[in-house]
Chains A and B, each alone.
Chain A
Amino acid sequence: MTTIDTSASSAPSAGTGLACVGDWLTTTDHKRIGRLYLGGGGLGFLGAVVVAVLLGAERISTGSELLNGNSLPQLFGFERFGLTYLGLAPLIIGIALAVVPLQLGARSLAFPRLALAGFWMWLVGAVLAVYSILLNGGPNGGNTRFVELFNMSAVLVIVGLIAAVVCLATSILTTRAPGMNMRRVPYFSWSVLIASLALLVALPVVAGDLVFTWIAYRYPSTGNVLSASTAINDWVGFGFSQPTTLLFVVPVFGFFAETAASATGRRLAPRGILFTAIGLVGVAMFASAVQAPVTLRPAFSALDLGDKLADLVPFALVHGLPLLGAFVAFALVAKNLASRPAIQAPLFFGLFAALLALTAAAASALFHIGDAALAGTTFEEGNWLMVVFSGALVAMGAVAYWGPKWWGRTMPNKALLPLALLAFLGAELATLPLMIAGFADQPGAIFPAIGTGSDAVVNFEYAGNPSLWNTVSTVGLAVVTLAVLAFVALAVRSFRGDVNDPLVNDPLVNDPLVNDPLVNDPWNGQTLEWATSSPAPGNNFAEVHIVASAEPLLDLRVAEKSTR
Chain B
Amino acid sequence: MHALPAGPVPAPRRQLFVGTALTCAGLAALLGGMMALYLRLRDQSLAASGHWLPDGVEVPMVPANVMLCAMLPIAIISQWAVYSAKRDDRVHTGVALWLVALLGVAMINAQVNIYERMAVPATGETFNTMFYALTGIMVALFGAGALFSAVTAFRYLGGRTADRELVTAHALYWYFLSFAFAMLWFVIYVTK
Contacts and interface: CB of A to CB of B under 8 A. Distances in A.
The residue among A169, A174, A212, A219 with the most chain B CB atoms within 10 A of its own CB is A212
B7 A556 contact: no
Contacts of A166: 19, 22-23, 26
Contacts of B130: 212, 226
Given A3-B12, A166-B23, A219 B123 contact: yes
Interface stretch (B32-40, B78-86, B109-117, B150-158): B32-40
A178 B15 contact: no
A: contact size bracket: 35 or more
B26 A212 contact: no
Contacts of A482: none
B69 interface: no
B: contact size bracket: 35 or more
Contacts of A216: 126, 129
A546 B6 contact: yes
Contacts of B37: 208-209, 212, 235, 291
B41 to A, nearest CB: 7
B10 interface: yes
The residue among B4, B13, B18 with the most chain A CB atoms within 10 A of its own CB is B4
Contact of A209 (B10, B15, B34, B132): B34
Contacts of B23: 166
B15 A175 contact: yes
Contacts of A205: 29-30, 32-33
B9 interface: yes
A563 B124 CA distance: 79
Contacts, number: 156
A227 B33 CA distance: 18
A543 B6 contact: yes
Nearest to B49: A223
Contacts of A362: none
Interface of B: 1-15, 18-19, 22-23, 25-27, 29-34, 36-37, 40-41, 121-126, 128-130, 132-133, 136-137
Q: Which 9 A-B pairs have the closest CB atoms?
A: A205-B33, A204-B30, A3-B13, A208-B34, A204-B29, A543-B6, A219-B122, A219-B123, A545-B4
Given A5-B15, A107-B9, A218-B122, 9 more contacts: A170-B15, A200-B25, A208-B33, A212-B133, A220-B123, A226-B41, A227-B129, A288-B29, A544-B8
Interface of A: 1-7, 107, 110-111, 162, 166-167, 169-170, 173-175, 178, 200-205, 207-209, 211-212, 215-216, 218-221, 223-227, 235, 288-289, 291, 516-517, 528, 531, 543-548, 552-553, 556, 559-560, 563
29 contacts: A3-B10, A3-B11, A5-B12, A5-B15, A7-B12, A111-B19, A166-B26, A170-B15, A170-B18, A201-B25, A202-B29, A204-B29, A204-B30, A208-B30, A208-B34, A211-B133, A215-B122, A216-B126, A219-B121, A219-B129, A221-B125, A221-B128, A223-B125, A224-B129, A291-B37, A517-B1, A544-B8, A544-B10, A546-B4
